Chains A and B, each alone.
Chain A
Amino acid sequence: MLVNRKLILAHFWLAFAVFGIALTLGAWQMLIRSPIGTWLSNPELYYRSLTAHGTVMGYVFPTLVAMGFGYAISESALQQRLVGVRWAWAGFWLIVAGSVMAVIPIALGRASVLYTFYPPLIGNVFYYLGVVLVVVGSWIWVALMSVNLRIWRKANPGAPVPLAMFANVAGSYLWAWTAVGAALELLLQIIPVAAGLKSTIDAGLARIFFSWTLHAIVYFWLMPTYIAYYTIVPRAIGGRVYSDSMARISFILFLVVAMPIGMHHTFADPQVGAGFKFIHSAFTALVALPTLLTVFTICASVEIAARLRGGRGLFGWIKALPWDNPMMLALAFSFVMLGFGGAGGLINMSYQLDASIHNTQWITGHFHLIFGGAIVIMYFAIAYDLWPHLTGRELIDVRLMRTQLWLWFIGMIVTTFPWHWVGILGMPRRMAYFDFGDPAIAPQALSVTFSAIGGFILLASGIMFIVILARGMRAPQVDAGPYRFALAVHEPRTVPVALNTHALWVALMIALTLTNYGYPILNLALSSGTSVPAVYVGAQ
């Protein structure tokens, strides 16, 4: 039962609108720094664009998708009207206000610090306050998810929480806690300096705080995608979830081990010792576990669907899958990109191998493949699946949907594979242009050109996506029926308390964060003489 459709649609539409803008900026950036573009007379414009692209794609777009999807899950999985609708709208408008507040200083060139902040560079205070408002708005959603689950539990004592809601709430708790790192950095360090109350800042400590957010935020982006893998895909292709409890274990593992691993982003940093770097590296290896489990469970679930459709043989069943179904296509593309992206990720988190690609274009290629590729393609699939239930109208352009997904997949491969390659050649990140006339850089020109072409394929796909959804708003009306989630092969009649509640795992998440971050943070915070003068952006 989807009652508050307007609320959910508002979240999705705002998400996809800002996504469209940021995607256009991204394509322009690819062009301008490639050999087919011409050098900008003012490179600062590139960094404005990059700050806007990162801030929207990192903080605003996925958060709105998770929120809208979360409200939809809460109402349809729990079969219960959303409690706190006014609060939900308040959260939505906070995000709108925060985004506008952040974007104005970016557009004026007063906050070209990139979405990673990295002080002692300091931008206009309203940029940071805008980001804080976005996060506060999303925390309202976290609270609402928790409250709605609690109300359902009271009405259904001891009953297994539907998998989609269990995962959704786990994702919301992960977000609440992972956002604390950047919140501490903003509130304790950056905002006092940006507001002119202080003039020095500990840049090393700020990087540690940010790493607290920087890695687990990726798993927050990933949550809607994994929820779709487990609870939408098997239903959409006519199969069943292989295992309900393994799904719960995967989500619990994400909650617990996504957090205490962020310092693998600081392997090359001078402000952390080797010990904690190794601990974080080892914990990062652990976070591969829920993904390996998921790949198994989803492949098995897909095989079940294929065999139910008459598929035979060791691999022959693959032919029996409903390949004309956009959900099937999206899943397959998502898995291919997850495979390549995950393999690249193992190199990034490696204690030794990281040095050869740290802060090169390899990293940019990596997270575009994982986030823009594996994750966002499932956001598209979620929207396609949910849209008729939200609008009461049929999405008729199935062929266009398939073309859109194909283009996104091809565009992402064409963009990110050469991107990885130039990273191995040592091309640094975040530069407005490169001197391809230099004989040492000239060999990278062809790869960068391919990436730029890929960027425009992605832009074309993004426009198609928005057109499909917009046309869906005016399509013939249809009764899509109640929104349903996939059933497991063996639906649980009871679930052990540990797999049905979050408290223990949230406690473990916090405890592991304290053990893995407590000492490095305290050590830096208490040592004197590490604060350095702030450098104000746009003041030169």
Chain B
Amino acid sequence: MSTQDTHESASAAVAARVERRWATIAVIIIVMMALLAAFAGIHRATMPQPRVEIIDPSRLHLSGEFVESNLGSVLEANGSVTVRAIGQQYSFTPACIVVPADTPITLRATSADVVHGILIQGTNVNTMLVPGYISEQLMRFTKAGDYLMPCQEFCSFGHEGMWGKVKVIDKAEFANRAKGGGRLSCVGQ
């Protein structure tokens, strides 16, 4: 072997070593990211919707959970609140959702026609509404006030006009309003 070759193989070995070191760092970064996501998912239960539930969108208005009289917010016996809503071209029902502050809330929603989305500005509440399936999202508001709730998925020519609203009110006031039973909303207020 000539000196030229020895020199070449020595420098190749150095190059390979540096490169391997970088590859190891890159792998560690990636494994750390995956572990952090798994930890947050398991330990803090922050994760996307876990379960799949189906529903027939052509019969939403006839019977079951999403008939019109059942839409809106309801105070459950355990103190939590369930909100049921549907999206259709080009509005949400109810168009204004009222919920109490500092309360665990379950949002259950679906679409009556095409794909829509619910996004509540200033929060992490963000879910797709796919016809045929029920979307469920847990939420909790710490600040009272009005939040805009646009449809975040293209749903045809009126998409730009599909904006709803979420009104977060004081917990006691909500309990007071919920006394009479029924489903609450802030439509027309």
Contacts and interface: CB of A to CB of B under 8 A. Distances in A.
Are A and B subunits of one complex?
A: yes
Interface of A: 43-44, 46-47, 112, 114, 116, 118, 120-121, 202-204, 207, 242-243, 246, 266-274, 277-278, 281-282, 285-286, 288-289, 292-293, 296-297, 300, 346, 350-352, 354-356, 358-360, 425-426, 428-434, 438, 440-441, 489-490, 527, 529-533, 535, 537, 540
B172 interface: no
Interface of B: 8, 11-12, 15-16, 18-19, 22-23, 26-27, 29-30, 33-34, 37-38, 40-41, 46-54, 56-58, 89, 110, 113-115, 117, 119-122, 124-136, 146, 148, 150-160
Contacts of A355: 48, 124-126
7 contacts: A43-B157, A116-B154, A270-B128, A281-B34, A288-B30, A289-B26, A359-B128
Contact of B119 (A112, A300, A360, A530): A360
A528 B85 CA distance: 24
A268 B117 contact: yes
A527 B38 CA distance: 29
Q: Nearest 4 A-B pairs (CB), nearest first? A: A426-B121, A274-B50, A359-B152, A270-B133
A359 B153 CA distance: 7
A269 B15 contact: no
A278 B128 contact: no
B28 to A, nearest CB: 11
A436 to B, nearest CB: 12
Given A47-B154, A490-B15, 19 more contacts: A118-B114, A203-B115, A271-B132, A273-B50, A278-B37, A281-B34, A286-B30, A293-B22, A296-B22, A356-B124, A358-B152, A426-B119, A429-B153, A433-B160, A440-B148, A530-B133, A532-B113, A537-B157, A540-B157
Contacts of A266: 128
A351 B22 contact: no
Nearest to A531: B132
Contact of A274 (B12, B48, B117): B48
Contact of A432 (B18, B121, B159): B159
B47 A351 contact: yes
Contact of B53 (A44, A270, A431): A270
A492 B15 CA distance: 14
Given A242-B19, A273-B52, A355-B48, A428 B26 contact: no
B115 to A, nearest CB: 5
Contact of B126 (A203, A274, A359, A537): A359
B56 A292 contact: no
Contact of A428 (B128, B130, B151, B157): B151
Residue from A285, A300, A532 having most chain B Cβ neighbours under 10 A: A532
A44 B158 CA distance: 8
A118 B23 contact: no
Contact of A282 (B37, B125, B148): B37
Contacts of B51: 273-274
A164 to B, nearest CB: 20
A155 B132 CA distance: 56
A203 B130 contact: yes
B163 to A, nearest CB: 8
Given A278-B41, A426-B119, A490-B8, A203 B154 contact: no
A490 B14 CA distance: 12
Nearest to A120: B114
Contacts of B113: 120, 532-533, 535
A269 B152 contact: no
Contact of A246 (B19, B56, B125): B19
A62 B50 CA distance: 36
B136 to A, nearest CB: 7
Contacts of B159: 47, 430-432
A274 B156 CA distance: 29
Contact of B135 (A270, A438, A537): A270
